[in-house]
Structure 1
Amino acid sequence: MGAMPFSEFFKGRKGGIDTDIPEGSPASAGGVSATDKLAILEDLERTGLAWFWATDPQGKVAYLSPSIVEGLGSQLEKLLGQPLQHLFVPISGEGDGRSLGLKLSTRKGFSGYTVESSNQNSKVVLRLSGRPLHNDAGDFIGFRGSALDITDEFRSEEEASRLAQFDSLTGLANRHRMEQRIDSTLTTFRSAKRSAALMMLDLDRFKQVNDTLGHAAGDQLLQQVAERLHAVVAGRGEIGRIGGDEFQLLVPDMDDRGELGEIAKKIIQMLSQPYSVEEGRCIIGCSVGIAIAPYDGVEREELMRAADLALYASKNGGRGQFRFYAADLEHEANLRRRMEEDLAEAIEAGHFTVEYLPTVSLKDNRVTGLEAQYCWQDEDRGRVSADTFLPIAEGSRLIIPIGEWAMRKACEEAVDWPSSLRISFAVSPVQFAANGFAEMVETVLKDTGLDPARLELQFNEAVLLGDAAKVDKALATLFKLGVRLSLDQFGSGLSSLSYLRRAPFDALRIGANFFEPVMGSEVGDMEMVRAVIALAGAMGMETAATGVHAMPLMAQLKTRGIDQVSGFVFAEALTAEQVREELAQGEWTLAPTATGTQRASRRTVFRKIGVIHEDHYYDVTLRNLSRSGAMIQGLEDVPAGTMFVLDFGSGQLAVCGVRRSMDDTQGVEFEQELVDDGAGGLCTRHRVSPYELAAAGAPLEALHGSKNSSARSMTSGSGFAQFKLSDNAPKQGHAA
């Protein structure tokens, strides 16, 4: 049975139109009979200029124009008797806000009500008008109405609206939509006292892909980046593309910096995996900056600026990193610029030296090689650690001239050493990617006369992220020179086993990250170490472990078959003069010492922090810091077991207990471990919420640079001070 004609529906209906009217009756006197009127309506219905619908008193479908039935992709027999509101739903954003069923239940006329099919397979959109119908007795007998098909018009506007809010290439939210989402989220969350994190992402080496493979390849890569971001985020937030290679991620209800750091690491890892495009294979990287509302900003502009500063810091730190916003980042940027200038002057002034860290064979404790390490003696700063200036040197590309000078200097020294002693040199990705690196190595070897077999170049896994063809060519050139090649920090990044088969590496070096204490083992993940040693053995490579500082760890590595070890368990780095003195004594062997411990890496720091005990606030000196604890100085006669709260500033509070105490120095253990801050430092997972401070009477604002004011204000100091400040304590009550 086909769709019911309009005239058939009304014929014979009480209260409807009587089509059986004799000619010459008053109805036809005007020239248009009722039958003609129905014919006109059927023409309108058939041509699509107007469609019609009707319901019974219960709101169930009594009639639908054939075109409506067709648009719904159904048959009239299946639709008759169904509630009209089951077939149509208001479009998103319909101003009325009431459901179709509610409108019908009022039994009042309506017009211009826009609905769409409830069936997702149908795209039809109608603008409905209707009025209630009553019989002669005044009883309600249903609705009669018209429908206008606005599907094409509505879907076109919908697509235009989508394009105005979404990136046409990746399908991600665009800058305009992200700004709206951030604004609305912060406004809503502010009243509900909720947090939200904003991540700024920038792709590293994307321009290189565009320049070498073309813009079509770049577009394909961006689409794959969007897919990978969706896989990582998995619905936990909104992702936007706000520029050519810039992305944003808004994560609601998230202020745990440990978890955010893990998300950032996963994003960096996922986006750094190889991409396949039509023009070939390419590899890029990613840097991430993170800011959290309300801690780092209450308004959108404030939060975005904080995330931008963190992103800038992560890129300057060597790329492929993440950074959390901190109030001192602007000051840090100024210090970085000044250090860049001083580094350039230091190169000219010859303020760099090279020191040598012994590598020892575990078979006989014989020194088999020396690893060259950079040293910078600055007139104002004193001795500057390599961990401090190397990221800046890499970001400014000053590492290229510094590295060439250091390699030449080390090779000149090594020429006078015994032929059995190798010199090893760590090569940064920036050095390796520079034009003519392999040629520079060849020139240095020729100029110094060093046997190429005695030079070992160490590459970390970031080197493999460069252009595959260029990497393969450079490694092949170095291999032909006879230089020994090793893969440094194996297992800490993105090593591909298939790449290991192709690359001519002679050794795998296991980094200290393997030896951080783990559950059930104070010396790290020995099962993973065993697997790496087995892999190296199967591929004919030697193994070396770096950062070994304790006898128990060395013993474990020896039983598992590691070949060589370096670290404080044998010796610290030596000057060139000290190396010559050792060599003058004949065969060089080193006995391990039992003075070190393999614990969570401690960073030596000397800065002022706060200590809260009961109702008192003390300023003390933080001497060193690790994930699990710290050493503080400034309070006398503190018994073991005393509970403190350490105030690191900017809302960072850590509950800890004193585990050992000597004079005015205490070793404390944190109740909750600190987490990576992305810059090689540590931070607390959570901070004092500005909402809590506002509840205590402070204005609602981000945690700006004041170091200790918020925590200090929480203590009245009205009680008895239990501990006496020592002469080593910093001046009280002043910012660090």
Structure 2
Amino acid sequence: MDQKYDNDDAAPRLSWGAILGLRDSAGLDGGAIRASQIAALHGSTGVRFLANVVGVVLLTLVLRNHTDLLLLYGWGISTLLLATHTAVGKWRLRGWNDRSATRAELHKETAAAALTGVLWGFPALLFSTAGALEQTLALWAVLTALMAGAAFVLTSIPLATVSFLLIVGGALGTWMWRIDLPVLAVAAGLNTLMLLVTASLNGRQFANSRVAELQLAEKKEVVSLLLREFEDSGADWLWQIDAGRCLTHVSPRFATALGLDLTELEGKPFLQVLAGDSWEAGNFASGLRELAEKLKRRESFSDLILPVKIDGETRWWELSASPRLDDRGTFLGFRGVGSDVTQQRDSADKINRLARYDTLTGLPNRMLINETVARAMQDAEQWRSRCAFMMIDLDRFKAVNDTLGHPVGDRLLSHVAERLRSLMSDNELCGRLGGDEFAVVVRDASDPSRLEALARNIIETLSRPYEVDQHTLYIGASVGTAVGPKDGRTAEMLIRSADLALYRSKDAGGGAHHRYEPQFHADAEERRTLEIALRSALEKGELHLVFQPVVSAKDTTIEAFETLLRWTHPTLGSIPPYKFVPVAEDARLIAPIGEWVLRAACAEAANWPSTVRVAVNVSPEQLNDPNFVTSVISALSHSGLPPHRLELEVTESIFLREGTGAINVLDQILGLGVRLALDDFGTGYSSLGYLRKTQFSTIKIDRSFVQGAAKNSAESLAIIRAVVAMADSLGMSTTAEGAETEEEFEMIRQLGCRKVQGYLFGKPMPAEEARQLLAKASRSRAAA
């Protein structure tokens, strides 16, 4: 490498090869360095010419009587001609400082210096062999003076200086030696050596300083270009204030950004300019206050955003600056940069809105709802008050999507959002969590009656008919409420509590409002425990079937057995169906469990007499499974049981479910020849329309009506008579559940029920006992 560095920030130091012009330095402009060397040499042209003239005149006067005049005058004229030629050429080539020089041009200067040195060495070698003392001293003085002058005048080109000094010094030392003055010869050599070292060091210092100057100039040019480009492009500008916070050296772009003239801004207080009309009122934006504090504390700052009013329009500026100090550390003010970020801020606001607001309804989405709940919880804890979170789920909304399509469903959701928004005050914020779930955050929920009234009002308002695309739509709403911090110390816990309360409202049939109770959490934990255990119950053989007989009311012969599922856990013990069946439905476990029940029941019924049927309860979730019909076909095929001996029992809740998939499945099952029974008729809506939708073979009357009739309840008796009459007219059979005494059985028979089921004829029993009961009944008939 031709350059060296003292440290990472220092300017490069040229090698001797580069200083002498023998090679270029990597990464540096050698032409510019050589040009500066030649330019410095040209600057001393006049001095060198005068020195040559004076030296020639002095030696001519001193030596004219002691040497050949022709030779002396010839030398003098040659020396003067060379000096004149050099001076004229340098005058013509002035301006070297503005150009680049080649190595050949630099070496030309060296050659000229060497030639000059040869001419000045002639007097010592040719004109004096053993002159007088006066001539000797004159010659010594002139040559020594010329050498000393050359060591300083020619210092910008070290190689030229070295060439001149070596030639003249060598001639002088040789002359001293020839006239038997060895001491002076040695002195001449030492003087020459000292001048060589001095000239070389000065030459290196000149070259290195010139390199530093060139690099500094280049950096200044780059900075100047960058500043000009910065000022001429984009929406950015420079600003500067003095120690009194008044504007100085106002940038044209800064003035343009403010819509003012430069003369108006020069010397004006910076904060007043930014504050605009609010300066007198003192109503400053927080960003301006922060800027004032930064300026007051003389601290650097960056990316500080504040509003600035320009021509009645609010713009957003981003400012960055650093304090200015002089060499003594005195504070001079601030210099900084600013830019208009209004467009970026508007884009950021739009992105923020998209991230926090639902695009369909315009309501806050889940993210903003969660943030609002968190803030409400913080405020409630700080002020020792209460807040509330309401979770809302629409009832029967899926039926709208399934029957009329999602576009209609989306417009319905927009209407729901409008109604919900109309119910809100400044104390509440409503939003959409997703799908058909909405939420309300109540910031101050210290009044429980007001909270209850709001929930009821929400249910009532959202349950009113909707007119969408010439369709009159009826849906409902269920609400669950949790109050913080009582029902949850964090936003997540509060939302979870409201979700549990909503689950209770949905479980109650919808259109209801429940407030969270600690028991809900215990129930949820129990359900979670049951779900975990239930997932492996089938594999571990913990599930088993029991069968309860259904007899003829006419002669008590067994016509069928109802299949009932039981679960016995090794640690939890016997778990009743009303607990684990809903868990299985929610956890999507009812399909595999139901398929196992169907297969096991059909396989057991295949061992019974051909006159005895098996009844299997089917969950609404199973009927929504597209593979359920395949499961029925597979169970019948593997067991060999005829389809007419299988009866599937469903409840009227399947008709309350959204969509018509379950009804289509029932039609396919009827097509197989399987019988259908409507279980628990009379406990729900008991609409006769259900009986027209599907061809049932049996209607089962709930045990609550049987028990009521046994107590001579007029309503229960009237309901049973009506159901029997209706079933007879439709060609259906009726089964009364819950007969436990002979009196109840006799009453059921008199009311016209064709089949009876209850503890009087047998409790739910294992398969082996059911087979024994059938065998006993068969023997009794044979004996009769």
Query: What TM-score bracket applies, with the shorter chain setting the length?
Result: 0.3 to 0.5
If asked which structure has higher relative contact order (CA below 8 Å, sep 6+), I would say 1
The alignment's TM-score, normalised by the length of structure 2, stands at 0.43
Higher helix share: 2
Higher strand share: 1
